[in-house]
Structure 1
Amino acid sequence: MDSSFHLVIPVVHRVCPHPPLSYDGVEMPKLEGFEFWSRTLGGARHVVAPMVDQSELAWRLLSRRHGAQLCYTPMLHAQVFVRDANYRKENLYCEVCPEDRPLIVQVTGEFLWGPAAKGPGPGWGSWQLSRLFQFCANDPEVFVQAALLAQDHCDAIDLNLGCPQMIAKRGHYGAFLQEEWDLLQRMILLAHEKLSVPVTCKIRVFPDIDKTVRYARMLEKAGCQLLTVHGRTKEQKGPLSGPASWEHIKAVRKAVAIPVFANGNIQCLRDVERCIQDTGVQGVMSAEGNLHNPALFEGRSPAVWELADEYLAIVQRHPCPLSYVRAHLFKLWHHTLQVHQQLREELAKVKTLEGIAAVSQELKLRCQEDMSRQKEGEKPAGGLPFFHWICQPYFRPGPKEGSRENGAARSKRALEEEEGSVDVLSKNKQKKQLRNPHKTFDPSLKPKYAKCDQCGNPKGNRCVFNLCRGCCKKQASQETADCPGHGLLFKTKLEKSLAWKGAQPRLPDPQQAGPREPTGFPEVVGSALA
């Protein structure tokens, strides 16, 4: 490893010892690969995915009650986790719960996950709850520092290499580290050496199966002990998601000697069983399917209000931000809100947990009225497999068909421009217009700015170089010049510094100075000591 690479290990006070590593004073080796999966994770097959603002403690506990055997925390940002004690407290330390194991912590660019809740003893080796943490990071040192702070609260640390969103592209983490194999090797190798819990990874596939297999083998060789493969590329997201490729997942499973979880195309228990059979993976992870039906792993489709009421009761004991609760109820009640749309606005506006519970209760009453009016032999509307008050999958619509001439899908912005975008505003623009009725979104009325000669950003109106502030600062520094327009005075400050130095009296040379007169200090000190 590069000799210039240094690791700063923070001081960590153990809240509870990691059970697999120490029992009755006897140190135990860190479990790896299949031994880790079978013993620490209890051979977990039904896994709840890490979901930003959605896989919080209350939702994990609900999912565990209904068949989930392993959960991940929401993705945590490693750099913030190391820097901010409140972030650690809110996202991990305050959410420690004996029922919430096994658990894996996931990090962006950095990652963390946790140990099993029970050590050897009665029932050891039988099913236990695990806790995993996921981090995002792109710096080996930061990633390991975050993982060290988290390892005593989870069963493993997961490195997020699968996030395809724009925020991951801007932050340079998640799926946008896919091509940086040297960096990923360093991160995983260092974490594998320094942590007392295993390191896992969650990845997306490349279009080419062979490259995906080489990628997975590289991660395994670096020290990854469990691999979750989402069978979509980083370009497959939102309306362009499309089906996940189980062929990629199957090829990875055959190529590596560590446990593999599959992610993608999971909407019901039959999908779970079929995926395991077709790909040979050890477990199956669900994200969107779990959000619409937390009882997915039980093979049940209960009434929505049954799970909504249960979730709200858990939130009373394990509070979380109101935005999380609202988002969960929008998912659970998704199909019902298409029928009773006036309650959608109510759910969006309420500001308290009691208010959300009241809207959920009203939806329950509306559904029961719909059930009482149901005719014998009546089929669900809208092509749904069940009536709207039953938990069921949500199938994301594909992109709108484009013009017949080119067959390409047109973007939302293109459609807005075509329709004028003044009369048809997005919800976000409508909110802005509510706050400021005089605001206009007509592009022809927007002020025009002259562009910087170097980077294209708006230039300063009084810049002597005709540049933006960033480019101006760089050029003025190189040329030791001033730009009053941007308040940059490199030349003036240099001239003042030279003038001040020239005005200072020169100190005499110590070698040319005569013998110094002795002071009375030694005598005073001597008399004091005497």
Structure 2
Amino acid sequence: MDLWKDVLNSPTKIVAPMVDASELPWRILSRRYGAQLCYTPMLHSNIFIKDPKYRKEALATCDEDKPLIVQFCGNDPQIILQAAKMCEDFCCAIDINLGCPQAIAKRGHYGAFLQDEWPLIENIVQTLSGQLKIPVTCKIRRFETIEKTVKYAKMLERAGCSMLTVHGRTRDMKGPMTGIADWTYVTAVRRAVSIPVISNGNIQCIQDVYRCLDETGAVGVMTAEGNLYNPAIFLGISPPVWEPAKEYLDLVEQYPCPLSYVRGHLFKLFHHLLSLPENNGIRIRLGEANSLQLFDQIVEELKIKYLPFHQGLEAWSCTTEEGTQNLILPPWLCQPYVRMNVEEHIKKVEENSQAEDSCDSHKRVYQDADGNPISRKKMKKLRRISRRPEKQAICEKSFFKCSNCVNPMGSKCNYQLCKKCCRDKCFLENMDCNGHRILVRTRRNMAKYYASTKSDQ
């Protein structure tokens, strides 16, 4: 059977596997907004076979969540095979992650940091393709040259890969150095192999999808970040952020997932709104929220605040870029996140470096109102306090010293002492300290310790 046509029904709009972000509720939301194929988050094969709880959360799915591809990372063919066999009845294919460029992949020796070990990768693909009853696919990043990238893709095809996703960036292109994905590498691979090729990278709107399909000839287009900031990207619309947020929270209530995932999705959906100074308090509350009810309250608050602007009942002043006639999307609409380009980032780093070099000491770049120098470390603390003014009192209290010694005082200590002095005081005076959690049981243990010490002497 042809995987792309017969099994997956020829999908062209695909949501990428995303760590802590492509869980079941988000996959269902993405499908309702036009996605035709979804992947699970990247799953660690070694943890998957050992941890039943991890396995249960990772394999959460339903009838609406089809077609689905499960992605694994790892560097041991037998372990990946064992993990894949546990879930081959719940998905259409197994994908091998050969493209993750993050530091965690480097430490764990998987993802894009396997791409120089071709015999190992070939062994992994051959092992899975020969012993699984469902197809094996791969997701890769390009090399520096087209020739090596094409040779790599051909090796994977020979090993048994049934479908290949090519990201048009190298493994070093990440963070502020992400840059633009090069689609010419995708085109070259697509022409060199006979298996279906999916293009990944540079997808921020529906026009990018059609342009990528036309330029590369790929069978489909995969997006990650574009989907996170606008789950309706494949419909070509930009809904107000509270609409997908509300729908997502309803899905989380039906299909529970970790609250950290929910918080991460809401931060990305509300990114442009939370960047406004007037919403600093809401941003802080979102970071502290620890229940679906609190998340729902924040979504409703933003909706009430910006719905009049969306309906045209009130005028929104910022509609153009300063000094231009270019129209911009208002911040309450789902829209892509545009990074600073690499050249601008390098220029900014050089300017900061020159500013530090021109100063007598790099620790004395900042000054207070009286002209006295402020170290960068203290400046960082002051900025953190300014971002969360309601916690200023706690931050200032943490700078106080213990009443008995030079150590810092515990911020919640009943007696304004450090932990060591507080333990001694509670033991000698038969007292409790909730701040340091020194209670009767602790004192009994301390008494036993002191008794054993004296007997040893």
The answer, yes or no, to whether TM exceeds 0.5 is yes
Equivalent residue number for residue 72 of structure 1: 39
Counterpart-to-counterpart distance in 2, 1:86 and 1:417:
50
The one-character-per-residue Cα deviations of 1:283-308 (angstroms, maximum 9, x if unpaired) are 00010000011111011111111111
Residue identity opposite 1:76 in structure 2: L
Trace 1:36-435 onto structure 2 (pairs within 5 A).
36-92=3-59, 95-103=60-68, 132-339=69-276, 340-371=279-310, 374-375=314-315, 379-380=319-320, 385-398=328-341, 399=345, 401-403=348-350, 420-425=375-380
2:309–2:315 contact (8 Å) kept in structure 1: no
Counterpart-to-counterpart distance in 2, 1:195 and 1:409:
58
- Give the superposition deviation at 1:438: 4.8
TM-score using structure 2 length: 0.76
Residue identity opposite 1:397 in structure 2: M
Q: How many residues align?
A: 374
Q: Specify whether residues 376 and 360 from structure 1 end up closer, same or farther in structure 2 by C-alpha distance, changes over 3 A only.
A: closer
State the SS of the aligned residue for 2:199.
strand
1:204–1:233 contact (8 Å) kept in structure 2: yes
The one-character-per-residue Cα deviations of 1:401-458 (angstroms, maximum 9, x if unpaired) are 2336999999xxx988966332233799989995992599xxxxxxxxxxxxxxxxxx
Counterpart-to-counterpart distance in 2, 1:87 and 1:269:
35
Q: Specify whether residues 283 and 403 from structure 1 end up closer, same or farther in structure 2 by C-alpha distance, changes over 3 A only.
A: same
Deviating more after overlay: 301-310 vs 54-63 = 301-310
State the SS of the aligned residue for 2:379.
coil
Equivalent residue number for residue 431 of structure 2: none
Counterpart-to-counterpart distance in 1, 2:192 and 2:49:
35
The one-character-per-residue Cα deviations of 1:139-158 (angstroms, maximum 9, x if unpaired) are 11111111111111111100
Equivalent residue number for residue 509 of structure 1: none
Q: Specify whether residues 421 and 277 from structure 1 end up closer, same or farther in structure 2 by C-alpha distance, changes over 3 A only.
A: same
2:22–2:41 contact (8 Å) kept in structure 1: yes
The one-character-per-residue Cα deviations of 1:26-75 (angstroms, maximum 9, x if unpaired) are xxxxx3xxx11001000010000001110000000000001100000000
Which segments of 5 or more consecutive residues in structure 1 lack a partner in the other structure? 1-30, 104-131, 441-530
State the SS of the aligned residue for 2:55.
helix
Equivalent residue number for residue 437 of structure 1: 398
Trace 1:477-516 onto structure 2 (pairs within 5 A).
none
Specify which structure has the higher proportion of helix. Answer: 2
Which of the pair has more CA radius of gyration? 1
Percent of paired sites with the same residue: 49
Residue identity opposite 1:44 in structure 2: P
State the SS of the aligned residue for 1:331.
helix
2:309–2:316 contact (8 Å) kept in structure 1: no
Equivalent residue number for residue 419 of structure 2: none
The one-character-per-residue Cα deviations of 1:207-262 (angstroms, maximum 9, x if unpaired) are 11111111111111101110001110000001110000001111111111100111
Q: Specify whether residues 43 and 306 from structure 1 end up closer, same or farther in structure 2 by C-alpha distance, changes over 3 A only.
A: same
Counterpart-to-counterpart distance in 2, 1:134 and 1:437:
45
Q: Specify whether residues 378 and 324 from structure 1 end up closer, same or farther in structure 2 by C-alpha distance, changes over 3 A only.
A: closer
Residue identity opposite 1:379 in structure 2: T
Which segments of 5 or more consecutive residues in structure 2 lack a partner in the other structure? 367-374, 402-457
Counterpart-to-counterpart distance in 2, 1:341 and 1:260:
43
